[in-house]
Amino acid sequence: MSVVEHSEELLRQVAALPTLPGVYRYFDAQGQVLYVGKAISLKKRVSSYFQKNHGGTRIGHMVSKIVRLETTVVRSEAEALLLENNLIKTLNPKYNILFRDDKSYPYLKMTAASEAPPTAGVAKSGAAPQQFSRVAYYRGGVEKKHHYFGPYPSAWAVKEAILLMQKVFRLRTCEDSVFSNRTRPCLLYQIKRCSGPCVGHVNAADYAQDVLDAQKFLHGDAQEVMRSLEGRMMAHAERLEFEQAAELRNQVAALSNVLHQQSVDNVSDRDVDILAVKVQGGKACVNLAMVRGGRHLGDRPYFPVHVEDAAVLMDVDDEAPADASAALEGQVEVQVLQAFLAQHYIGVPMPAVLVVSHPVGKGLLSALSEQHGFKVTALHQPREQRRAWLDMAQTNASLQLARLLAEEGSQQARTRALAEALDLTNEDLDALRIECFDISHTAGEATQASCVVFQHHAMQNAQYRRYNIADITPGDDYAAMRQVLTRRYSKTAEALAQAKHAGVAPSGSDRLPDLVLVDGGKGQVSMARDVFEGLGLDLSLIVGVEKGEGRKVGLEELVFADGRDKVYLGSDSAALMLVAQIRDEAHRFAITGMRAQRARVRLSGGKLEEIPGVGPKRRAKLLQRFGGVRGVAMASAKDIASVDGISPELAEEIYRALH
C-alpha cells in the first residue's frame, strides 16, 4: 500500500472502476487538475497509482495531492486517446507533457471570382473586383467559397508565396476598395508584379487562366503549368500575337527560375510533415517542417512544458505493448513526439504522410486516421529526399533547443543577480514575481497604462493587462500612474487586510508581487508611494527606473520608495539587463495598446456618415473645419453648429454620437 493516506470515498471509487477503456482526471484540494490519462482498463490503470509505494518521487508527490477522481468511459482506445488530448489542451494539467496553443496557422487565400459583376464596387474601367481573384495572407476560419493553400509554418512563408504569385502569375493583392477606385495602374503593375485588372489591362478570361495556373502550381503541378504556359506562348506566336507571346515568355522564365531555386522540391511528395524531437537538460523541442505542393515551406519549433514531470509517470502509465514500437515508449523523445502529434493535430489539417525521428505507435496513428477521415502513415527511417528533410529538421531541433537552454540559463542568472542586488528575500527564484507599469499617450490622446509580469524567469504574456485611463488632465502621467496602481492593488490590499484580521494566510491570487517596477524617477515613485501608503502596502516593493544622463541605455538608476539611496548597477550588470528587459516590454505593450486605442478613436469618426443627417458633403465640411476626426470629437456642440449646413439640433446629435 502507498504510504499516502487517501479518503475512504476516493479509494472506494477507485475499487469500483470498470475494466473498460476510458480517460481519468486527478484533482487536488484546490480543484486544480493534476493529470489526465487514458487507459485500456480504467480499473487496472488507476489502481496502480494507489497500490504502489512511490516514495519521495515525483509520482509520489503527485499521488499525495490527489483528493478527487473523475473518469469517462469510451468505446475504444482510439476514442480514449483523442479525448485525453482534448482534455489536456483545455485543462492544462500540471503533470502532463503540454504543448501551449499558438496562434492558428496562416494560409494563402485566393478569393473566389464571381461571373456576374455586382451592382456596386465597379472600377472606372467597368471591371468589378469580384471578377478577379485576389491573393492574400489569411488567418482564421475558412469559407468554402474561397480557396485556401497551406497551412504555412510562418507568416514569412505565406508572404514569400504571395510574392511568388506576383512575380510569376501577376495576381492582384489589393483590397476591393482600392481596386474599385483606381484610374491608372499602381506601382505593382509598373514593376510587373500585377497584370492591372483594375484598369482593364487584362481581360477576365486571361486573368482566370493565370489564377488556375497559380492554383495548379500551389498544388504541386509545376511541370504541367510550365507546359501549359509554353503551349499558350507558341500559339500566340503562330498567330503573330508577339506581345502576348512575350508576356507568356516572361512568365515561363520567371517560373523556370523559381523551380531552379527550389532545391528541396520533390514532386513525388505533395504534402508531408516532418517532425524531429530533441530532449536535453530537462527540456524538449519538436521541430515541425512542412512540405506543401511538393515545396518545402520552412519549419517551426515547439517547446513542451512539464517534460520532466510527465516522463517519470511513464512507468506507472504503461500498458502492455500492443505493437513492436511500444517497446520504445520508455524513451522520453517518443513520449514527447506522441504527445505533440495527439495534441497538435486536434482541429488542425494534417497530411497523410508524416516523416518522424522516432517511432510512433499504431494506436495513435489509428486515432489520427479516424479523426481526419483518411489513413495516416508515419515513416521512421526514410530514404533519399525524405531523409534529407528529416536531417534538416533534426539539425534545427538541436539548434533551437541549444538556443532555448542558453537563453534560460542567461535569464536565471539575471534573476539571481537582481535578487541579490536588491536583497529580495524570496528563496525560490523560479517563483519571483515582478510587475512593471508604464504610461503611454500621444499629446494626451488615448492614454493607456500597461502592466507586464515577469515570473519563472520569463515574461508571462497571458498575465499582461492594459488599463484605459480616464478622468484625468490630458498628459498628466502622475495622475495616470496613481489611477492604474490604485485599480491594480486596491482589491489585493483589501483581501490581505481581511486575511490578516482572520488570522489566516492569504490565498495565492491575493499575493503581492515581490517587486513593483515603475518606469520613471522620483516623481513617479513618489506617486506610487502615496498609493501604497493609502492602501497600507509595503513601500519596499516599489522601485523606479530612472533614465540616466542623456537618457542613454545602460545608465539607468534605481529609485526606491522607502527612502533608500539611489542605486546604479552598472551598464554590464546582469540585474540591470533584466530591469531594462522588463521596462522595455512594459513600454512596448503600452505603446501598442495606445496606438490601437488612438486608431479606434480616430476611425470611430468614420462613422460620421452613419449619423442621420450627415452625408459625404457635411462630413467633408466638418473634417475641413476641425482638421480631422479628432478635432470634430473634441469640438463642442456649439462649435459644430457653426459649420455651414449643420443645424443646432444636428450638432447636438453629432456630439452625442461621438461621445
Given a cut of 50, whether residue 416 has pLDDT beyond it is yes
Q: Do residues 452 and 581 lie in contact, with contact meaning Cβ atoms separated by under 8 Å?
A: no
User: How does residue 505 score in pLDDT terms, banded at 50, 70 and 90?
Assistant: low
Given a cut of 50, whether residue 388 has pLDDT beyond it is yes
Domain annotation covers residue 424: no
With vertex at residue 179, the alpha carbon angle to CA 177 and CA 183, rounded to the nearest 5 degrees, is 115
* SS3 category, 450: strand
Whole-angstrom distance, CA of residue 529 vs CA of residue 270: 63
**What mean pLDDT value characterizes the chain?**
81
Looking at the structure, do residues 86 and 133 belong to the same domain, yes or no?
A: no
The pLDDT of residue 607:
61
- Here the cell at position 206 is 486571361
Q: What does the pLDDT average to over 403-426?
A: 83
Residues 6+ apart with CB under 8 A from 146: 109, 110, 111, 112
Whole-angstrom distance, CA of residue 429 vs CA of residue 418: 10
Domain annotation covers residue 116: yes
Residues 6+ apart with CB under 8 A from 511: 433
Bridge partners, 278 (sequence order) = 285
Task: Tally the residues of the chain.
Answer: 659
Reported as type and span, the H/E element at residue 557 is strand 557-560
Domain annotation covers residue 202: yes
Q: Do residues 197 and 178 lie in contact, with contact meaning Cβ atoms separated by under 8 Å?
A: no
Q: What does the pLDDT average to over 281-299?
A: 84
Looking at the structure, do residues 449 and 590 belong to the same domain, yes or no?
A: yes
pTM: 0.61
Looking at the structure, do residues 254 and 136 belong to the same domain, yes or no?
A: yes
Torsion of CA 125, 131, 132, 136, to 10 degrees: 120
Whole-angstrom distance, CA of residue 339 vs CA of residue 279: 14
Residues 6+ apart with CB under 8 A from 85: 339, 342, 343, 346
Residue ending a domain, choose from 576, 600, 624: 600
Domain boundaries, position 19? 8-91
Q: Which amino acid is at 122?
A: V
User: How does residue 273 score in pLDDT terms, banded at 50, 70 and 90?
Assistant: very high
Q: Do residues 422 and 562 lie in contact, with contact meaning Cβ atoms separated by under 8 Å?
A: no
Q: What does the pLDDT average to over 290-310?
A: 81
Phi, psi (deg, nearest 5) at residue 501: -65, -35
CATH number of the structural domain spanning residue 395: 3.30.420
The pLDDT of residue 285:
92
Looking at the structure, do residues 212 and 238 belong to the same domain, yes or no?
A: yes
Angle between helix 362-372 and helix 77-91 axes, rounded to 10 deg: 80
User: How does residue 324 score in pLDDT terms, banded at 50, 70 and 90?
Assistant: very low
- Among 281-285, 312-316, 399-403, 618-622, which stretch is predicted with the lowest mean pLDDT? 312-316
- Among 117-131, 325-339, 380-394, 528-542, which stretch is predicted with the lowest mean pLDDT? 117-131
- Which tops the pLDDT comparison, 591 or 58? 591
Whole-angstrom distance, CA of residue 382 vs CA of residue 395: 16
Given a cut of 60, whether residue 70 has pLDDT beyond it is yes
Looking at the structure, do residues 475 and 506 belong to the same domain, yes or no?
A: yes
Report the domain count for the chain.
Answer: 5
Q: What does the pLDDT average to over 202-222?
A: 84
DSSP state string for 327-382? GGTTSHHHHHHHHHHHHHTTTS---SEEEESS---HHHHHHHHHHHTS--EEESS-
Whole-angstrom distance, CA of residue 62 vs CA of residue 54: 10
Looking at the structure, do residues 223 and 324 belong to the same domain, yes or no?
A: no
Residue ending a domain, choose from 199, 226, 261: 261
Given a cut of 80, whether residue 62 has pLDDT beyond it is yes
CA 551 from centroid of its chain's CA atoms: 33
Given a cut of 60, whether residue 262 has pLDDT beyond it is no
Looking at the structure, do residues 442 and 585 belong to the same domain, yes or no?
A: yes
Residue ending a domain, choose from 402, 417, 444: 402
CATH number of the structural domain spanning residue 638: 1.10.150.20
Bridge partners, 541 (sequence order) = none
- Here the cell at position 53 is 509505494
- Here the cell at position 148 is 485556401
**Which pLDDT tens digit goes with each residue over 551-609?**
676 678 899 998 888 888 877 788 888 998 899 999 888 888 766 665 554 444 446 66
Q: Do residues 345 and 368 lie in contact, with contact meaning Cβ atoms separated by under 8 Å?
A: yes
- Which tops the pLDDT comparison, 200 or 244? 200
Q: What does the pLDDT average to over 353-367?
A: 90
The pLDDT of residue 275:
94
- Here the cell at position 643 is 459649420
Whole-angstrom distance, CA of residue 365 vs CA of residue 633: 60
Burial class (CB in 10 A: 0-12, 13-18, 19+), 64: middle
Radius of gyration of the chain (CA): 31
Looking at the structure, do residues 246 and 350 belong to the same domain, yes or no?
A: no
CATH number of the structural domain spanning residue 71: 3.40.1440.10
Sign of CA dihedral 102, 108, 113, 118: positive
Q: Do residues 448 and 591 lie in contact, with contact meaning Cβ atoms separated by under 8 Å?
A: no
User: How does residue 266 score in pLDDT terms, banded at 50, 70 and 90?
Assistant: very low
Whole-angstrom distance, CA of residue 77 vs CA of residue 463: 37
Domain annotation covers residue 318: yes
Domain annotation covers residue 304: yes
The pLDDT of residue 200:
87
Looking at the structure, do residues 204 and 131 belong to the same domain, yes or no?
A: yes
With vertex at residue 203, the alpha carbon angle to CA 197 and CA 205, rounded to the nearest 5 degrees, is 120
- Which tops the pLDDT comparison, 432 or 601? 432
Looking at the structure, do residues 444 and 530 belong to the same domain, yes or no?
A: yes
Residue 628 CB neighbours (<10 A): 13
- Report DSSP state, residue 169: I
Q: Is the peptide bond before 151 cis (omega within 30 degrees of 0)?
A: yes
Domain annotation covers residue 423: no
Q: Do residues 336 and 284 lie in contact, with contact meaning Cβ atoms separated by under 8 Å?
A: yes
Looking at the structure, do residues 596 and 524 belong to the same domain, yes or no?
A: yes
For the chain, give the percent of residues with pLDDT over 70.
84
Given a cut of 60, whether residue 134 has pLDDT beyond it is yes
Phi, psi (deg, nearest 5) at residue 146: -100, 170
DSSP state string for 265-302? --TT-SSEEEEEEEEETTEEEEEEEEEETTEEEEEEEE
Give the HSE-up count for residue 439: Cα atoms under 13 Å, Cβ half-sphere. 22
Give the HSE-up count for residue 527: Cα atoms under 13 Å, Cβ half-sphere. 20
- Among 130-144, 242-256, 418-432, 614-628, which stretch is predicted with the lowest mean pLDDT? 242-256
Distances (CA, A) of 50 to 29, 269, 507: 17, 49, 29
Domain annotation covers residue 454: yes
CATH number of the structural domain spanning residue 594: 3.30.420.340
Looking at the structure, do residues 138 and 201 belong to the same domain, yes or no?
A: yes
Residues 6+ apart with CB under 8 A from 111: 130, 133, 134, 136, 146, 147
Whole-angstrom distance, CA of residue 418 vs CA of residue 88: 35
With vertex at residue 288, the alpha carbon angle to CA 283 and CA 290, rounded to the nearest 5 degrees, is 175
- Here the cell at position 200 is 482593364
* SS3 category, 452: strand
Given a cut of 60, whether residue 121 has pLDDT beyond it is no
Whole-angstrom distance, CA of residue 417 vs CA of residue 395: 33
Residue 441 CB neighbours (<10 A): 21
Reported as type and span, the H/E element at residue 453 is strand 445-455
Given a cut of 70, whether residue 508 has pLDDT beyond it is no
Domain annotation covers residue 66: yes
The pLDDT of residue 286:
93
